[in-house]
Structure 1
Amino acid sequence: MKFNKTLLATGVLTVSMFATGAHAAVSAADAAKLGDTLTPIGAEMAGNGNEIPAWDGGLQTIPAGYKNDGIYLDPFADEEPLFIINQGNVNEHAERLSPGQIAMINKYPDYVIPVYPTHRTSAYPDNIEQETVANATSVELVQGGNGLANYQNATPFPVPQNGLEVIWNHITRYRGGSVQRNVAQVTPQENGAYSPVKFQDELTWRASLTDYDPNEDANVLFYFKQAITAPARLAGNVLLVHETIDQVSEPRRAWLYNAGQRRVRRAPQVAYDGPGTASDGMRTSDNFDMYNGAPDRYDWELVGKKEMYIPYNSYRLVDRSLSYDDLVKPGHINQDYTRYELHRVWHVRATLKSGQRHIYAQRDLYIDEDTWQASVIDHYDGRGELWRVAEAHNMYFYDRDVPWYAIETLYDLLSGRYLANGLTNEESNPYQFGVDRASRDYTPAALRRAGTR
């Protein structure tokens, strides 16, 4: 069965029928829109006439005083909110919010959404833009939609035809090639009490390895290593992941090094709704990075495109003058330090397939058109009740042309608890891009070397 090549903004395209074979890439005529009416990675170039500006190449000026040290300064520090959405006016703005955002506002009087002027800051390196254009006419979905053929190291579907292609754009989006970061994760109790868990993360795309061989590990998208550095009871434990492109024919390869046992073992539970690392049950493995992993357990619908208030240009959340105590509050992070802007998002709905198992029966994902980053995700339980609300506080790493997250949050509406991951305010050397890593750094044997107390 073929899909209609014309995507209507209000249409719904369901992806559940890639039984065999490949799904064709777009035509040369559609690809020619990139760099013309579409940005090089597929967003609408034009604005909406008043609130969303046209894309003009991304942030034009790096803030004065930035020292190229991974301590990012706010280019918009002098701006004030245009208005603040709260319990008193939420109904006026409901069309531009997700049901989960509305539920958070209604649950917590101090959960507010400060809306600022929109800035389309994101851009990409030239080679990523060029490879994206090439992908448009060559990349295909294969293996039931759970793998990619002819993929290069960039956005695979800049002119998406269905929901699954949008999800692949999120999964494969550019995050700097090779990066190391030192971050903290918190899972506060209802009263706000918390103990941070600290990680040193490494993320290296296969093509960014110093000994890259296009014929080696061809089904690997990237390598990920996560070492816990604090607290002492967990320090030294290390997770290693080889993220495969087709995770159905070749499941994600994962290993854990337990510092107490001095033992490396396979970790098949690091997938789907397996427990997230040191998350106190507050997230699943596939909640990390908002959504990750094999898409085979869900049917995916492309509901359409909409304008929505999403966290954006969230530089205040990495301000070094703030402590974790300033940010971590009961029920949710301190919304006084957040920033939301009006952007266009792709709305994709994931519905659990018959016969499949997952604690989330439905997920509604709102994915920013300029970055392909999932920015808000509403999660529903098996009864169809709204359960958890995820928000990614986007920011642009302007010295590296990398759109990514300042922090991710995942709020549990039932328990009143939440998880926030990616905090850097109290960490030294929070981000290092362009780190040299070879394939030997991502072998199970390397875990013992990384796992020291």
Structure 2
Amino acid sequence: MHNQRAFIIALALMLYSSFAYSTESSGKTPLAALGLTPLGAEAGGNATGVIPAWNKSDILTRQQLAAIANEQPLFYIAKDNLNNYKDNLSLGQQALIKAYPDSFKMPIYKTYRTHHVPEYVYQATQKNYLSARLIDDGNGITDVWQGVPFPVPQNALEALWNHLVAWRGVHMKANVSEVLVQANGHYQEILSKGEIASPYYAPDRGIFSEKHVKTYYLTRTVSPPSMAGGGLLIYDTLNQRLNPRKSWFYDAQQRRVKRIPVLAYDTPNPNSEMVRVVDEVDLFNGLPDRYDWELLGKQEVYIPYNNELLVDIGIEALSTKHHINLDRTRYELHRVWVLEAKLKERENHIYGRRRLYLDEDSWLTLITEQYDKSDKLWRVSLSYTKFFPQMPGIWKVADTYHDLKSGQHFTQSWKELENSPVEFFGELPSKRYFSPSSLRQSSHR
């Protein structure tokens, strides 16, 4: 045992020395020397001290997370004091406060930088710093390991790919609630059992290229009864232009699995009545090729963070008019990367312009703004996140989509049911588990 431990330590030192040499020989300054965390965020706090420094050893215990959940807001941002905080709000947040002045009040809390990931993800990010590269005009990436591909992004597409493959664990299962609320307050809820698996983050894999599958998505509808038994299976690759997304639907009425030809861009999302289109799932997914992308830099913004109280949120809080009940939400001041996308002249999409706000620590997109063809703000989306210690890392609890024209809103959230919590697994199931034949066997009334 002693000899084995000594060998492991010697191997780790050899690999570290090799990486240090490679960094030096590449001409790239190590991330720590740049003042960055192992995933590329600024390690230090901000000038006012509201944003604290990030420390690799500051992993919060469940007791500390529970204490955060019991904190009281420092203050609220609402219509009366909006002008005092405009510099730290996205344009979409300001629009929501103005559209719903009597109810959209953001509770502001102390900032905690809780995002921490497994050690192998940190190490893979260091290797990606030297090897990862965009290909096919930014529609794909290659030569990537199980981490952030571009911890020091040089352009918008590199930052966008950091979001597209952001750490979400290896394999997770959860109950999924989708609630569409009409402007008059009427609502419908669809319940499913969902799974997401990321071959990209398989701990034992080698280097990946554009042909590899990065994500499997599987969902089985539970209710309402008219929809129960249906299922959806999706494969996403690291270049969906050269290796397009594959999608299958299980029709419970016909007991057949059907291949879906197109599930991308602004294809309507049936569960949301078009309040959300396909490439808005996860706030943005799929190919970036219909837009010209620009990296606008960083901004300090109050974003949804550490939303411990939203995990077991009930339907009464999800179905309030115009937006979810904000009493259960938590906003903190964090640094975000801001990306803007403008529709290319000869391309087609319902959105003429989009703006994305990416959390610097997790690289998750937490706010998006969607503009119509007349460049008028149309829709605003917010992703409410928390730290999942069993993952571990920051990930979403609920994604909310707001249509400023219709007054509708749509929420997709993880739902904690009795004896059925959100579950995370450190290994991938077999490939057969995410096959079309498996979809048919597992999806039934």
TM-score scaled by length of structure 2: 0.89
1:87 aligns with 2:86: no
CA shift for structure 1 position 92: 1.1
- In structure 2, give the amino acid aligned to 1:260: Q
| Partners of 2:141 and 2:209 within 8 A in 1 | no
| Partners of 1:26 and 1:159 within 8 A in 2 | no
- In structure 2, give the amino acid aligned to 1:43: A
Partner of 1:406: 397
Give the superposed CA RMSD: 2.3
Change (3 A) 1:214 1:138: closer
Secondary structure of 1:260 counterpart: coil
1:273 aligns with 2:272: no
Partner of 1:242: 235
Partner of 2:70: 78
Deviations along 1:290-309, whole A, 9 cap, x unmatched? 11111111111000101001
- In structure 2, give the amino acid aligned to 1:85: I
- In structure 1, give the amino acid aligned to 2:364: Q
Deviations along 1:395-448, whole A, 9 cap, x unmatched? 111232222101000000000001110141446523111165111112222221
Deviations along 1:60-80, whole A, 9 cap, x unmatched? 331239xxxxxxx63402322
| Partners of 2:69 and 2:307 within 8 A in 1 | no
| Partners of 1:183 and 1:430 within 8 A in 2 | no
Change (3 A) 1:272 1:31: farther
CA shift for structure 1 position 98: 1.1
Which of 116, 124, 127 is 1:123 aligned to?
A: 116
Partner of 2:283: 290
Which of 103, 107, 112 is 2:95 aligned to?
A: 103
Question: Residues 158-169 of structure 1 correspond to what in structure 2 (within 5 A)?
Answer: 158-169=151-162
Secondary structure of 2:350 counterpart: coil
**Distance (whole Å) between structure 2 residues aligned to residue 204 and residue 88 of structure 1:** 44
Partner of 1:433: 424
Change (3 A) 1:59 1:420: farther
Secondary structure of 2:195 counterpart: strand
**Distance (whole Å) between structure 2 residues aligned to residue 137 and residue 216 of structure 1:** 15
| Partners of 2:291 and 2:343 within 8 A in 1 | yes
Change (3 A) 1:26 1:270: farther
Task: Out of 223-232 and 73-82, give the one that drifted further.
Answer: 73-82
Change (3 A) 1:107 1:194: same
Question: Residues 178-327 of structure 1 correspond to what in structure 2 (within 5 A)?
Answer: 178-206=171-199, 218-318=211-311, 320=312, 322-327=313-318
- In structure 1, give the amino acid aligned to 2:341: A
Tell me which protein shows more helix as a share of its residues: 2
**Distance (whole Å) between structure 2 residues aligned to residue 377 and residue 74 of structure 1:** 29
Deviations along 1:319-375, whole A, 9 cap, x unmatched? x4x522134210000011111000000000011111111111111001000000101
Deviations along 1:234-258, whole A, 9 cap, x unmatched? 1111111110111111211111111
Change (3 A) 1:59 1:315: farther
**Distance (whole Å) between structure 2 residues aligned to residue 175 and residue 115 of structure 1:** 25
**Distance (whole Å) between structure 1 residues aligned to residue 333 and residue 208 of structure 2:** 43
| Partners of 2:301 and 2:334 within 8 A in 1 | yes
Partner of 2:437: 445
Change (3 A) 1:183 1:249: same
| Partners of 1:116 and 1:340 within 8 A in 2 | yes
> Which ranges of structure 2 fall in alignment gaps of 5 or more residues?
1-22
CA shift for structure 1 position 268: 2.8
CA shift for structure 1 position 57: 2.2
Change (3 A) 1:74 1:406: farther
Partner of 2:361: 370
| Partners of 2:352 and 2:371 within 8 A in 1 | yes
Partner of 1:44: 42
- In structure 1, give the amino acid aligned to 2:31: K
Partner of 1:13: none
- In structure 2, give the amino acid aligned to 1:103: A
> Which ranges of structure 1 fall in alignment gaps of 5 or more residues?
1-24, 66-72
Change (3 A) 1:376 1:347: same
**Distance (whole Å) between structure 2 residues aligned to residue 349 and residue 292 of structure 1:** 15
1:346 aligns with 2:345: no
Partner of 1:383: 374
The aligned length equals 420
